[in-house]
Amino acid sequence: MENIQNLCMGCMNELEEDGTCSYCNYNPDSPFLQSYLPPKSILDERYIVGKVLSYNGEGASYIGFDTVTSTKVVIHEYMPDTLCSRTKQSPKIMVKTDSLNKYKTYMSEYAELNKSLSRMRTLSHLVPAIDMFAENNTMYAISKYVEGITLKKFLQGNGDRLSWEQIKKIFPPIFTTLSLIHNSGIIHGGICPDNIIVTPKGELKLIGFSISAARVENSDLSSELYPGYAAPEQYNSMDWLGTWTDVYAIAAVLYRMLTGVLPPNAFSRKQADNIIDLSQMSIDIPQNVSRVIMQALRVNPETRVQTITELVTKLFEQPEYVVEHKKGATQTIHVDTDDRIRNSYIEDEEDEPEEEEAEKKNLIPTVVGSVVLALLVGVGLFFLAQMFTGGSDTGSSNSVSGNITSVTVTAETTVSDSSDASSDSSSKVDYGTGAVMPDLKGLEYENVRESIENDFNIVIKEKKSKKYGEGIIIKQSIPADAEYDPARKNTLKLTVSTGSGDASSDYDLSDDSYNDSTSDSSYTDNPVIPDFSGYTATSYGEVLSKLGITYAFSFVESDSVPSGNVIATSTAVGQEFDTTTGDVLTVTVAQ
């Protein structure tokens, strides 16, 4: 184990020979809060605990050090101080007897939140958990430490405000990331400049997720609301929170970035709305941008912009083309952010017949579409860079996985891992635990090979396909989201397209036989992607809605197409689109 004496507990950098730290001003003799772990504590026989970075009604976050990988981490501890306490004599949390049920309920929500975020680890603008384990009568989640400064400090160092031209170049990845989070049923509830990190490369990272009870007043937990950014409904535990809650917060962030002024507290706005309209300020922004932001900041959630899709669509359309969406007319943005050449999310192989696993649509987008998706999420960032192995080097099975959703908690007793040892009844193969299988279908094999070859024995089966471009993965033998143990080196069978050929793609991986028998006949009743020439995003979206096609917008600058007009679609015009699978059509729009 790393020599603790050589590490600064304030920043986890190596100390000088005289015991001082040249990176931070941390004083090792300073007292620490009794409710939280003391510096130099060891967790899971692996993680060194440093100083407290932040805490709220849900728990605390510490800077930490992973002795296995020799890297900095952030250690998140579930510790709701209204339901439990800790003494200096022991790191074990003591749960109040009359709060035991609430403690366990919220801890289960805490675990599920971190598990859900970990499944989105391919999103480069999130910092999800890479490990989870039970100890000290509570739950811990480990995430990577991100070097950078908060957006709040970034603004303070850049004149306290940014222009709209600057914002629309750096913020699209946050819009897309937030939309994907919403699609997974997660509401952030704490979006503000303090919870957006600006990295040294100028990339934005969204942090600060908490369970819902910590994001609303008058709950069982001490609430953490950010005045000016928290929506009005967060000040009343009887009100519903939803995507519109995060829309309010992101609009408040835009308001702050454009003006340098913090919007008034939403609670006070409910009594007397004194917010200054952007149109009345001396700032150079398009009129429609000003109007849309103010619509997203409405006190009444029913009249507010409802989704990020609606917000982004209106922000980037030309003023003369702005048309009010009917509620529910568009879906939450669901744009793949991992350089995928694909349109769909693929179900586990046991969940649908092989006929439905045949190529459902033409997955070769236009060159422009491919470039747009890559630009939207950050050029050069490959989705598997965030893949983790869950600490398999230590032999621990405490990584983020479905096996840690159940823990036994009793008042004044320690937590014991009581995970169900039986596998899911729908699973036929045990691949072990320690990591989660990514969805590889639709990805270029060469782009992901280096990221997966150390975890599996890979067997490649090449196959001709009219619907998949050369080098694209058609199918994988280990289903997406299945747990696996990297140390086992499971056999992973991948079918990779060689390009133009037979349209069939059906094959049976259970006996290593491949059957090219499926035709395109099953798609004859599906709607055809309509021509988008001359359409604005809103008008084209209305056409798609009438056809029953779920769609999402991505935005890119264009010198040849008017702002707000459609540039491309991820499925080519004239091609059939399967509306029965829940797939999403990506519509690229000029901003």
Give the phi and the psi of residue 402 in degrees, each rounded to 5: -70, -10
Average pLDDT over residues 315-337: 46
pLDDT in the model for residue 164 = 92
pLDDT in the model for residue 64 = 96
Average pLDDT over residues 154-161: 91
Task: Return the ∠ at Cα 117 (arms to 111 and 122), rounded to 5°.
Answer: 145
Helix (H, G, I), strand (E, B) or coil at 444: strand
- 206, 150 contact by CB (below 8 A): no
pLDDT in the model for residue 411 = 56
* pLDDT confidence bin for 319, thresholds 50/70/90: low
Residue 330 reports pLDDT greater than 70 = no
pLDDT in the model for residue 342 = 36
Residue 498 reports pLDDT greater than 90 = no
| Most confident segment among 128-137, 266-275, 362-371, 562-571 | 128-137
Instruction: Report the alpha-carbon distance of residue 328 to residue 432 in Å, rounded.
Output: 41
Residue 337 reports pLDDT greater than 90 = no
Query: Which pair of tokens denotes residue 25?
Result: 């001003």
Provide the β-strand partners of residue 493. 459
From 148-157, 364-373, 578-587, the region with the lowest mean pLDDT: 364-373
**Residue among 209, 208, 224, 201 nearest 154 (CA):** 201
pLDDT in the model for residue 557 = 78
Task: Return the ∠ at Cα 182 (arms to 178 and 186), rounded to 5°.
Answer: 105
pLDDT in the model for residue 582 = 62
**Residue among 92, 110, 126, 116 nearest 56 (CA):** 110
Residue 368 reports pLDDT greater than 70 = no
pLDDT in the model for residue 402 = 39
Average pLDDT over residues 458-475: 80
Residue ranges of domains in the chain, CATH in brackets = 4-146 (3.30.200.20), 161-321 (1.10.510.10), 537-590 (3.30.10)
HSE of 212, CA atoms in CB hemisphere, 13 A: 19
Strands (DSSP E) found in 236-340: none
Residue 249 reports pLDDT greater than 60 = yes
Helix (H, G, I), strand (E, B) or coil at 523: helix
From 175-184, 404-413, 501-510, the region with the lowest mean pLDDT: 501-510
**Residue among 69, 71, 72, 94 nearest 81 (CA):** 94
Task: Return the ∠ at Cα 152 (arms to 149 and 157), rounded to 5°.
Answer: 75
Residue 469 reports pLDDT greater than 90 = no
Question: Which residues fall within 8 angstroms of residue 211, CB to CB, at 6 or more apart?
Answer: 58, 106, 109, 110, 113, 221
Share of the chain above pLDDT 70, in %: 75
pLDDT in the model for residue 92 = 94
DSSP 306-318: -SHHHHHHHHHS-
State the amino acid at position 382 in one-letter form: F
pLDDT tens-digit profile of 74-121? 999 999 999 999 987 889 999 999 999 999 999 999 999 999 999 888
Our CA dihedral for 380, 381, 382, 385, rounded to 10 degrees, sits at 140
Average pLDDT over residues 201-227: 93
Helix (H, G, I), strand (E, B) or coil at 131: strand
**Residue among 389, 348, 361, 583 nearest 477 (CA):** 348
Residue 299 reports pLDDT greater than 80 = yes
| Three state DSSP letters for 50-93 | EEEEEECCCEEEEEEEECCCCEEEEEEEECCCCCEECCCCCCCC
HSE of 384, CA atoms in CB hemisphere, 13 A: 20
* pLDDT confidence bin for 223, thresholds 50/70/90: very high
Instruction: Report the alpha-carbon distance of residue 60 to residue 86 in Å, rounded.
Output: 13
From 144-153, 202-211, 314-323, 542-551, the region with the lowest mean pLDDT: 314-323
* pLDDT confidence bin for 1, thresholds 50/70/90: low
From 146-155, 288-297, 496-505, the region with the lowest mean pLDDT: 496-505
* pLDDT confidence bin for 65, thresholds 50/70/90: very high
Residue 257 reports pLDDT greater than 50 = yes
**Residue among 373, 292, 306 nearest 337 (CA):** 373
Query: Which pair of tokens denotes residue 78?
Result: 């579930």
From 219-223, 350-354, 461-465, 553-557, the region with the lowest mean pLDDT: 350-354
Instruction: Report the alpha-carbon distance of residue 91 to residue 49 in Å, rounded.
Output: 12
Helix (H, G, I), strand (E, B) or coil at 407: strand
* pLDDT confidence bin for 362, thresholds 50/70/90: very low
Provide the β-strand partners of residue 66. 47, 71
pLDDT in the model for residue 333 = 35
Q: How far is CA 132 from CA 78, 93, 165, 435, in A?
A: 11, 17, 40, 11
pLDDT, averaged across the chain: 77
Residue 190 reports pLDDT greater than 50 = yes
Instruction: Report the alpha-carbon distance of residue 104 to residue 98 in Å, rounded.
Output: 12
Alpha helices, DSSP H, located in 260-304: 266-271, 287-296
* pLDDT confidence bin for 519, thresholds 50/70/90: very low
pLDDT tens-digit profile of 470-493? 888 888 889 887 878 777 778 888
Residue 237 reports pLDDT greater than 90 = no
pLDDT in the model for residue 413 = 44
Exposure string for 380-391, b = 16+ CB within 10 A, e = fewer: ebbbbebbbbbb
Instruction: Report the alpha-carbon distance of residue 420 to residue 196 in Å, rounded.
Output: 37
State the amino acid at position 309 in one-letter form: T
Pairing of strands 456-463, 490-497: parallel
Query: Which pair of tokens denotes residue 110?
Result: 């805490």
Instruction: Report the alpha-carbon distance of residue 390 to residue 433 in Å, rounded.
Output: 9
* pLDDT confidence bin for 254, thresholds 50/70/90: very high
pLDDT in the model for residue 465 = 74
| 541 or 323, greater pLDDT | 541
How many whole angstroms from its chain centre is CA 577? 27
pLDDT in the model for residue 294 = 96
Residue 389 reports pLDDT greater than 80 = no
Q: How far is CA 262 from CA 152, 165, 171, 172, in A?
A: 11, 20, 19, 22
Residue 326 reports pLDDT greater than 80 = no
pLDDT in the model for residue 562 = 81
pLDDT in the model for residue 433 = 74
CB neighbourhood size of 506 (10 A): 18
